[in-house]
């Protein structure tokens, strides 16, 4: 039963990916589908730049910011969970809690006065906001390890560094990946809004559709971003799930977290 369900999901995702790829590579072939949504002979396919280009820029912006956020956030989370950084632990928890109440779009807008228009503010907002889920999840991962395991690692004669690299980080990894997933999903959404501050990305298509009242643009922009986000998110989820599964039920239980943040932006 269960296996069948998983297989249907995988097939659906592969299918979605294939259609997405086909659409990005040869959008004009799909023009017929979208023409009914246009008025007065307006173009059915976005024509101010290729959709593939926009998709790649979009992904690049998100990827760059998320990688940077992951490096900084994981580093900080490691720092505050070591004895040397312990005095910053309580504060950093509070900052993350407060920070996550900030709407990502507000962070984006507030970056504009500092960075001007273009890719800059989008990257900065994505980076800043992306820190929060990764930091929080890494922190949870590193601070909820089974005490018996951490203690034995010391008792076996691992140095602090060996314990971190061989035991703590690998065990926290499913949660860290989940944090990166959340950051990426929020990033994909915020980058879409980034088009309103002139960042190159898929939001451009939706904005153009809204401005020229062209439903076909709105729908194709919306569907591409939506499918992209769902596929990427599922990829991370599958990765985290695989990591968690290998080490058994104890760490999987930690995955279902009722306080998990919503992920949209």
What's the closest the beta carbon of residue 2 comes to another protein, in angstroms? 9
Q: Which is nearest to 260 in space by CA: 139, 142, 133, 80?
A: 133
Q: Closer to another protein at the Cβ: 67 or 86?
A: 86
Q: Closer to another protein at the Cβ: 75 or 146?
A: 146
Question: Angle 37-42-47 (CA atoms, 0-180°, nearest 5)?
Answer: 105
What's the closest the beta carbon of residue 59 comes to another protein, in angstroms? 13
What's the closest the beta carbon of residue 147 comes to another protein, in angstroms? 9
Query: Quick one: how many helices (H) and strands (E) in the chain?
Result: 12, 0
Residues whose CB is less than 8 angstroms from the CB of residue 222 and which lie 6 or more positions away in sequence, other chains included: 206
Q: Closer to another protein at the Cβ: 40 or 101?
A: 101
Buried-state track 81-110, b at ≥16 Cβ within 10 A, e below 16: beeeeeeebeebbeebeebbeeebbebbee
What's the closest the beta carbon of residue 16 comes to another protein, in angstroms? 10
What's the closest the beta carbon of residue 108 comes to another protein, in angstroms? 9
Q: What length is written for the chain?
A: 265
Q: Closer to another protein at the Cβ: 45 or 167?
A: 167
Residue 120, judged by CB atoms within 10 A of its CB (0-12, 13-18, 19+), counts as middle
Q: Closer to another protein at the Cβ: 73 or 145?
A: 145
Return d(Cα 108, Cα 103) in angstroms, integer: 9
Q: Closer to another protein at the Cβ: 134 or 208?
A: 208
What's the closest the beta carbon of residue 240 comes to another protein, in angstroms? 13
């Amino acid at each position: 039963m269960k296996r069948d369900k998983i297989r249907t999901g995988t097939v659906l995702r592969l299918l979605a990916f294939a259609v997405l790829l086909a659409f990005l590579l040869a959008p004009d072939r799909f023009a017929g589908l979208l023409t009914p949504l246009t008025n007065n002979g307006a173009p059915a396919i976005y024509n101010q730049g290729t959709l593939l280009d926009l998709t790649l820029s979009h992904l690049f912006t998100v990827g760059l910011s998320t990688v940077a956020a992951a490096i900084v956030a994981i580093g900080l989370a490691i720092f505050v969970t070591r004895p040397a950084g312990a005095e910053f632990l309580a504060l950093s928890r509070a900052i993350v809690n407060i920070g996550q109440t900030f709407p990502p779009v507000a962070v984006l807008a507030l970056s504009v006065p500092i960075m001007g228009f273009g890719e800059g503010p989008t990257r900065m907002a994505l980076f800043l906001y992306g820190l929060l889920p990764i930091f929080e999840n890494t922190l949870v991962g590193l601070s909820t390890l089974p005490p018996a395991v951490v203690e034995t690692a010391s008792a076996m004669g691992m140095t602090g560094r060996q314990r971190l690299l061989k035991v703590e980080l690998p065990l926290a990894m499913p949660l860290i990946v989940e944090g990166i997933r959340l950051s990426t999903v929020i990033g994909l959404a915020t980058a879409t809004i980034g088009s309103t501050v002139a960042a190159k990305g898929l939001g451009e298509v939706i904005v153009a559709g809204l401005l020229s009242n062209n439903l076909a643009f709105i729908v194709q922009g919306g569907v591409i971003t939506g499918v992209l986000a769902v596929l990427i998110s599922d990829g991370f989820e599958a990765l985290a799930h695989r990591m968690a599964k290998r080490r058994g039920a104890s760490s999987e239980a930690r995955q279902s977290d009722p306080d998990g943040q919503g992920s949209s932006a």
